[in-house]
Amino acid sequence: MRILRRFHRQSSLCLLLALIAGLTGTGCVHLSPPVERTNGIPYGMRGERTLYLDVIRPEHPNGLGVLVLVSSGWKSRQPGKFPTWPMAPVLRRGYTAFVIYHVSQPQATVMEIAEDMHRAARFVRHNAHAYGVDPQHLGVAGGSAGGHLSLLLATRGAPGPVDAADPVDRESSAVQAVAIFYPVTDFLNLGKSTENVGRGRPPKTFAKAFGPQATNLAVWKVVGRETSPIYYITTNLPPTLIYHGDADTLVPLEQSERFQSAARALGCTIEVRVHRGGKHGWLTMPRDVRRFGDWFDQYLRGEGQ
């Protein structure tokens, strides 16, 4: 039980699934489909640090790709450290996974991390044909901070400047389908979150992640809005699937519900599926990842539309 309590404080999908494997005694070899994996491909720079992604290509690719944003509390991993099997249900359907890593906060701010996710999407799109995927149909997946970053791509993804020196930066960072777990969507209204210290301040545990001026309320009003996907919903929002537990105290369900209401008011395709009794992670999440595959089949492959 102590292990489970410790786990529920984690916000990473991959850590959750790793615990599930340990509890069930199920090995990664059994869970993972045959794949060809290339780790540590540079996609950009953050200061003097190189940014990396892994490419996981299934045995029978379907020509479509999904970005997997590895971020827990806006902290990431080293290339090659994300296991294959958490995305096994999606890989089995033929999707090529692009596992995206970033510089962890506070070495990089959330704003910088978001910029780097746009860079990653542009890099994948620019090199899509080399990886055997359609550049016009990219999905994105993640959990918690990874879900938040996914929504920033979904709401703010756009073509880069046409005069950018690097041709990668001219590409669009837009995605065409989203499937995520429990994202924060509005930092200016944290509601019942245990991170809410009131008076419109940044989340208490993560204030440093937003830069040294984040506790300045005038600065925070700007930064908090800039990093909140809910303020950037348009009719171009790609089809979005969100799983969220109704017992989540770190990122309360209302974060997803309010995002859904705002998106539906604009006629967007969005679905929030509530896991009853679910906290910030639950043991049956692999079943939900299978539903991610259904969602990508429908909105990237066009099945059932």
pLDDT in tens, 217-248: 999 999 999 999 999 999 999 999 999 999 99
Residue 305 lies in a domain: no
- Cα 262 to chain centroid distance, Å, stands at 20
CA angle 231-235-238, nearest 5°?
90
Choose among 69, 66, 45: nearest CA to 57: 66
- pLDDT for 303: 66
Global confidence as pTM:
0.90
Taking the C-alpha atoms of residue 67 and residue 179, their distance in angstroms, rounded to an integer, is 10
| pLDDT the model gives residue 198 | 87
- In a domain, residue 167? The reply is yes
Question: Residue 139 in contact with residue 177, Cβ under 8 Å?
Answer: yes
Q: Is residue 18 part of a domain?
A: yes
Average model confidence (pLDDT) for the chain?
90
CATH number for the domain that contains residue 39: 3.40.50.1820
Q: Could you tell me if residue 304 is inside a domain?
A: no
Residue 90 lies in a domain: yes
Reply yes or no: is the peptide bond before residue 106 cis, omega within 30 of 0: yes
| Residues whose CB falls within 8 Å of the CB of residue 286, separated by 6 or more in sequence, listed in order | 17, 20, 86, 89
pLDDT for position 302: 79
Q: How many domains does the chain have?
A: 1
Backbone angles phi, psi at 112, to 5 degrees: -70, -40
Residues (pLDDT < 50) of the chain are 1-30, 305
| Residue 115 resides in a domain | yes
Q: Is residue 202 in a domain?
A: yes
Question: How many of the other CB atoms lie within 10 Å of CB of 108?
Answer: 23
Strand partners, 139: 66, 177
Residue at token pair 């296991």:
83
DSSP letter string, the chain: -HHHHHHHT---HHHHHHHHHHHHT--HHHHSPPEEEEEEEEEEEETTEEEEEEEEEESS--S-EEEEE--BTTB---TT-S-SGGGHHHHTTTPEEEEE--PPTTTS-HHHHHHHHHHHHHHHHHTHHHHT--TT-EEEEEETHHHHHHHHHHHH--BPPTT-SSGGGGSB---SEEEEES----TT--TT-TT--STTPPPTTTGGGG-TTTTSHHHHHHHHHHT-GGGG--TTPPPEEEEEETT-SSS-THHHHHHHHHHHHTT--EEEEEETT-BSB-TTHHHHHHHHHHHHHHHTS-TT-
For residue 114, which of 68, 54, 74 has the smallest C-alpha distance?
A: 74
CA 259 – CA 186 distance, rounded (Å):
8
> Which residue segment(s) compose the domain that 60 sits in?
2-299
Task: Give the residues across from 138 on adjacent strands.
Answer: 65
Q: For the segment 118-138, what is each residue's pLDDT rounded down to a tens digit?
A: 999 999 999 999 999 999 999
